[in-house]
Each structure stands twice: as C-alpha cells, then as structure tokens.
Structure 1
Amino acid sequence: MEIRPIKTEDDYKAALREVSAYFDHEPVPGSAEGDRFEVLLTLVQSYEAKHYPIDLPDPVEAIKFRMDQAGLTAKDLVPCIGRLNRVYEILNRKRPLTLNMIWKLHQELGIPAESLIQPPKLPLAA
C-alpha cells in the first residue's frame, strides 16, 4: 500500500478520484483495500480542513437553521431565550445572545456552542 501525503492540488484531485471509486464499491473494513480507503479519506479530510476551511455559521443563522431543521417557531425558543419579544430581538439582530441564552440553546436544541459564542453579523443597513 503506497500512499503519499497530499501536498498539492494535483495530489488532492488524484486522491479524490481514487476515493470516489471506493464510494461506488466500498471495500470491506479491515481489508487491505478498506485500510487504503480509510487512510485516503483521512488524508483528503486533512487537506480540505487546511485548504478549504468552512467558517462556522453566524449565531442567528445557526438558530434559524435549527428552527427550520426541527420545525420550530419563535414561540418554541421562549424557554431558551425569554419572552417572545426578546426572541424576535435576537432573530432580528437587535440584541446579542447572553451566556445564559447560549447555554440553554446549546443544551435544549443541540446548537453547537462554537456557533453561538462568536460575534453576530451586524444588521444590514437600510
């Protein structure tokens, strides 16, 4: 099993081509081909994390995504955020999240804390 580090974009593309073939016919875990597939995936993931990082979503976008995902309404956020008017202030970026709100949103709705603790994007100027 000759596998080299992915150092260039050409190496990356070659690794992607090889990995994509395995998705059609996934090898047996623990076999020589299975081990090769696993190592290649690890290399590809490492290269992508370094060269194509994905930013965390804005806190409000993270909340809205979770609401959409779970079919929640603003009223469903009251236990985590406070009164309904406070929920709308948060969703409309008129008020920042407090530490207590962040903790409850993370605990109750499973929103990653990393997404909630970053500074929110400023509201768009009218």
Structure 2
Amino acid sequence: MEVKLIHNATEYQAALKRMRQLWGAAEGTPEYEEADILALVINKYEEEHYPIDDLDPIEHIKIRMEVLGLQPKDLVPYLGDKGTVSSILNRKRPLSLANIRSLHKGLNLSPEILIKEIILAA
C-alpha cells in the first residue's frame, strides 16, 4: 500500500481508478485501510480543485456516486432499502441523521455538507 498526495489531474484519475478497485474491501483488511486513506487524499484534492460548496447535499451524493462509479443500489447499506434510496435521491424524502452518519463514514462525505439537507427540509 502506497498512498501519496495527489498533485495533478492525472494522479487524481489514477487515485479514482484505484478507489474503484478497492471498493467493497472487507473491513480490517489492508485493502480497506488503503481505501480509507485514499478517500481522504481524494477528498482533499477535490476540495482544493473542485469546490462545490454551493451544491445541495443530494448533488454532493450524486457526484460522489459518479466519481466512485456507484449505482443507487450501492447506497442501500448507507440509506436503507432501494425505495428509500430512490426517495432520497429524488428529493422526496430528507436525509436522516443516521443517513448522514452512514454516508460520512461509508463515502467520506462531509457531514457539514450533508446536514444542509436537514436544514433545507425544516
């Protein structure tokens, strides 16, 4: 496992490719540890080079899904059943605090960004 800081777009694309390969690694394995560290490095690069603070939380989730090559069914472990995932992604149901915690841990999304969903729904 050799995770380095990302300095340019080529390294960013390579990091995303590696993250896709590591996706779903079993917790406690070296691959899981690498994915966890890689997610932090990718997040740092994205925050510096692709600021998206003006997007709503659902758009942040959709962007992360695209970056990681995920489908809505891949969010079931974080959001609940397929119906719940669909309702949330279609803005028919707000994120719960439990959803926000799961998305933060599982997809390394900022809780500060996701909490906007609760504020906007109020």
Instruction: State the TM-score, normalizing by the size of structure 1.
Output: 0.51
- Contact 2:53 2:113 (8 Å CA) reproduced: no
Name the Cα RMSD after superposition.
Answer: 2.1
Does 2:81 align with 1:83? yes
Choose from 110, 113, 117 the match for 1:112: 110
Q: Which residue of 2 aligns with 1:100?
A: 98
Q: How many pairs does the alignment contain?
A: 70
The Cα shift of 1:55 comes to 3.5
Q: Gaps (5+ residues) in structure 1? A: 1-52
Note the alpha carbon deviations across 1:53-102, whole angstroms, 9 max, x for none: 97342110010000000000001000000000100000000000000000
Cα offset, 1:115, TM superposition = 1.0
Give the TM-score of the pair, scaled to structure 2: 0.52
Moved over 2 A (4+): 53-57, 119-122
Structure richer in helix, relative to its length? 2
Instruction: State which of 72, 75, 78 in structure 2 corresponds to 1:74.
Output: 72
Matches within 5 A, 1:8-87: 55-87=53-85
